[in-house]
Amino acid sequence: MATRSPVILNQLGPVVGARIAAHPCRPTVLAHGVGRAPWDLPAGVEVLLTRPLIGWDAAPAKLPPGWGEGLRWIQSASTGMDFYPPWLLEGRHIVTCARGVSAVAIADYVLTAILSFEKRWGAIRLRGPEDWRHETLGGLSGKRLGLAGFGAIGRAVAERASAFGLTVGAVRRSGWVVPEPGVEPFGRLEDLAAASDHLVLALPLTAVTRGLVGAGLLAQAKPGLHLVNVARGALIDQQALLTAIDSGRIAGATLDVTDPEPLPAGHPFYSHPDIRLTPHVSWSDPDFDRRLGDRILANLDAYTRGGPLRDVVNASAGY
């Protein structure tokens, strides 16, 4: 049975920390010390609020001896769990993620990327009267949007895409037991890529999905495809993508994620005219901390009552 006043280590910053500290269970909230490794837990910590990019990439490959004794719950600020060491998902503690917290912001980013691609937003800027010329721009109505992954992000993208007249198709890891209104189900990503004008990657990175978009899939894609990746860079074989764009098979790509992040200086993606790079910001909006805080507080309510938590991570699946 969970205690009424847990000791919580907060690695999510002061905004979230202040909201957690005001919870009626009167928790003891400890701030993450400057320079302290994220896995270095003070004695007595029962709940860990953490996020990926604070040093977890330097975590030891094996579970440190005695690590997590007394730890009962880990809440991640991210949806994907691939940044963490595998042992973080193991043990007696529950791990929950922030599934869906950024879905609206990411969906807005995706539609911005698609509109910018079709309307050639960066290419038609006037710099003087000599640039005044007729241009034929693309449109969204009647085009097909393919969604590789149909969780909270996929649903939010589909809702917005339908309003623009896009036909929406999707593949999902769990298959299609019940039809989704307005979404054409596909069984294979290859078939979806062959039928889509824009293909959005919204999948978790696992051993199964790593390198999923490679030379074989790109060769089967519809000529002129625009690829949008808001998931993880390692889903794509980046050299294969570069080759497919240079050959003209793929018209362009909008990449909010790469492998690694950031790409090294001089990487061809930085200067390629048909690739738009952004620095992993599709999730960002002014309300992120509020929504994340709401999610954590709801889980903290359940935790202090001994009830089930929302968005529990499946350790064997990795998400």
Residue 147 CA to residue 168 CA, distance in Å, equals: 8
In this predicted structure, the answer to whether residue 8 has a pLDDT above a threshold of 60 is yes
Structure confidence by residue, pLDDT tens digits, 188-234: 999 999 999 999 999 999 999 999 999 999 999 999 999 999 999 99
pTM, to two decimals: 0.94
- 198, 232, 276, 295: which is the annotated catalytic residue? 232
Q: Is the pLDDT of residue 3 over 80?
A: no
Task: Report the percent of the chain where pLDDT is more than 70.
Answer: 99
Q: Is 29 exposed, middle or buried (0-12, 13-18, 19+ CB in 10 A)?
A: buried
Catalytic residue selected from 280, 290, 291, 310: 280
Q: Measure the CA–CA gap between 200 and 144, rounded to whole angstroms.
A: 11
What local confidence, expressed as pLDDT, does residue 254 receive? 98
Residue 32 pLDDT > 50: yes
pLDDT tens-digit profile of 140-168?
999 999 999 999 999 999 999 999 999 99
Q: How many CA atoms are closer than 13 Å to the CA of 91, on its beta-carbon side?
A: 21
Give the tokens for residue 230: 């808001």
Q: How far is CA 165 from CA 139, 144, 168, in A?
A: 10, 9, 9
* 134 tagged catalytic: no
User: Tokens 């293909």 identify what position?
Assistant: 199
Residues 81-134 pLDDT 10s:
999 999 999 889 999 999 999 999 999 999 999 999 999 998 888 889 998 988
92 catalytic? Reply is no
Q: What is the pLDDT of residue 223?
A: 98
Choose the catalytic residue: 69, 90, 261, 305.
261
pLDDT in tens, 44-56: 999 999 999 899 9
232 catalytic per annotation:
yes
Which residue type, as a one-letter code, is found at position 242? L
If you average pLDDT over every residue of the chain, what do you get? 95
